[in-house]
Amino acid sequence: MRLFISAGEPSGDLHGANLSRALRERHPEVDLLGFGGDRMAEAGCRIVHPLCDYAVVGFGAAIRSIPTFYRILQLARETFRRERPDGVVLIDYPGFHWWLAKAARAEGIPVTYFVPPQLWAWGGWRVRKMRKIADQVLCSLPFEEVWFQQRRVPARYIGHPYFDELARQRLDGAFVSEQRAKPGTIVGILPGSRHSELNGNTPSFAEAARIVHAKRSDVRFLVACLKPAHADLIRAKLAGLDVPLEVHSGRTAEIIQLAHSCMSVSGSVSLELLHRARPATIIYHAPLVGYALGKVLLQAKYITLVNLLADELLYPEQIFTRGTVGPKIAGEILHWLEDRPAYESLCGKLEALKAMVAVPGACARAAVAILELAQARHQLRAA
């Protein structure tokens, strides 16, 4: 049996890697190939093209990338005809994945959408596309299953795969001990994993850190970056900022664990904050055109996954197009630093939500569903 897995972002590469391991545990002889990144390759998936290198954000960037994505789509069509996979698995990344799904269906290959795009939040009419291109949708949020089923899309809730990764995490004890030995209260800064996020959000984080430290000189800041190149970029942007601040790569889990509270980008990192029950204020930088479109298309109450899971504003959210939201971020952090009852109340709510939703095993459940669908295709071809 052969499966094609496609992921176009670092988070998708992570989920694709954990899914690959789960598929191999369930079916050791399965042949895995696809579009993705280094983590999927390490998990035994043969990478046909490094799609994760092409993560784009914003309308303008997407338009400029059309020729590149057309060439990648042609490569996918050639791969489907040559390798004849028994199933295609798509991980988030709408836009390009719509076209990839159509290419798969044209070859008679069943399509599973694993971690579907948040259609219930951004342009619900696109569910018609999902109905046409997906044989099954494996939902990561509890309410998605009902939402899709009501719109005649085959769907089942399996849980969020990020909790699989969080269950596997092991902290670097030496790093944690070293930081705890230093004086001061730690506030974490989580600036994101894309260059557009780093460029758009860093000024707000820098201003917030300056305001917090001016009022609370005992506070120091740890910045968590995904890669060394990101850390170098952040260090250059924060050069000259007169606050006690360290930038580290590959230490996100440790920094969240050490932090009293965090200032963070929107995204799956909010689930990691929930996993460690850390209060955080969330920001989302949207270019002006994207913001204008978003105001029209956004149908969800919140942008943050944790708030959606709780159906309550546990993590304050700031959406902005230009300038900074540093004062608003700083205000939330200072509130938690100075109002201990409010801080402890929020921590308690996060612990309760964690107990309800932070359940690992999503990738194992997904593997069962994907293999069932692919087995039917495999048997049909063999007949």
State residue 200's pLDDT score: 82
> Hey, what CATH topology would domain 2-159+361-382 get?
Rossmann fold (3.40.50)
Going by C-beta distance under 8 Å and a sequence separation of 6 or more, which residues neighbour residue 239?
none
State residue 265's pLDDT score: 92
Ranges of CATH 3.40.50.2000 domains, the chain:
2-159+361-382, 168-357
Domain 168-357 has what CATH class?
alpha beta
pLDDT in tens, 170-218: 999 999 999 999 999 999 999 987 777 888 889 999 999 999 999 999 9
pLDDT in tens, 293-338: 444 445 667 888 899 899 899 999 988 777 789 999 999 999 999 9
Rounded mean pLDDT for each run of 10 residues along the chain, 383 residues in total: 94 94 96 96 96 61 71 96 96 91 96 91 81 95 92 95 91 97 97 80 94 97 93 91 95 97 92 97 71 49 88 91 88 98 98 92 97 82 62
Prediction pTM value: 0.81
